[in-house]
Structure 1
Amino acid sequence: MNKYLLLATLIIVLVSKVKAQECYYTSLSKRYAFQVTATRISNADSLRLASTIIVKIIDQTTNQQIQQLCIDAEYLFDDVYSNCEAARSYITGYNAEDDAMDNDYGDVIVADFNFDSREDLAVKYSSGGNGGPQYNYYIHTDQSIFKLDNFLTEQMMYFPTEIDAKRHRLINYVHANALGENMNVYAYNSSKKTWKFVKRRFRRAG
């Protein structure tokens, strides 16, 4: 086979295995717009897809991009990042009152996670299992950039059902077994700027 024809065939095959979806959000933040692109590439050695989530953060006043986040996502269901309405904001109120089925609060969420009155960001990176999807958490810093919070991302993971601004606590409820779920409490020390796990309590279903 002609090498140019072979190359063209290979390109066609590769392109056919790439699926990209894009959403542009202007209602999640008072200051920023978020352009979110999810690209999925078929893995020939597996039934799973390799997914990359790119979040471009844009200043709504100047329309200038100020930052880009690139996330190598784990397993995501087919419908994740396919519906641009699957987002919410506890800052602007966008979809804030929507039900969160199976602990799914949306693909992209804006809220104040560390209680400093700044807009922080959560981005779904895995559809998870019985406990629900898992998120990367980005804290809005003094330098006006979004920095990954390793504690929330690696320790809390699941989105908080309760954001207790008065006591500086985040609380989530995660499926434990057929009998019930665990209530997990995380507290933030604003002077030390550190998180700690407070307690876990089992709650029976019903």
Structure 2
Amino acid sequence: MNKNKKVTNAYAYALLKVLEKDVNFQNFSVLVSDLLDFSTLFNTCSSIEEFFSNPIYETKNKKQFLMDFFGFSLSPLIMNFLNLLCDTKRIIYLSSILKLFLRILLKSVNAYIVEIEIPTSESYKLDVKKLNTILSTWFLKNRKETFIESINFPCFKEPIVIFTIKEIPQLLGGFKLNFITESKVIDFSISTKIQQITKVLQY
């Protein structure tokens, strides 16, 4: 096991163990929201990642940066964890740690992140009834017990679905479901149907 993977596993599971001691739906939701927002910003703004990975900057400067920009927006648990990574000089592994932590956490509580792609149109209305039918069918077919290294959250009995909406002009109509945590795509977009029909006609 290389050092990157070893450090990532150690800190991701350590954070999960801390969370296990005091978890309910409310702080779980806040935690996941904070981590998703922070991870998105961290991964899309290369200057932030470069700052944390640069050994020229002292630990106190990195911790001060976290406090100035995230001290009032992130939960205390996340802030303490980020400060710990700074103190132990493991902040350079932050991206892989957060990615693994979120994956393990979501599986532990039987949660799914589903990105709904819809057309960019003011007149478009999502077929909620069809969406619910598709999701219900999918969960019935794919539901399974998940147990990861003795991490157990008994307060979560039913699957949790976290939705995000993404507008895609090329879709024309219909919608597409991306199960981010399962690497699964269910496509009901009109653009895909047109492509399928075109391929048949060209055959």
For the aligned pair, the TM-score class normalised by the smaller chain equals under 0.3
Larger relative contact order (C-alpha < 8 A, sep ≥ 6)?
2
Bigger helix share = 2
TM-score (norm 2): 0.21
Name the larger-Rg structure: 2
TM-score (norm 1): 0.21
Bigger strand share = 1
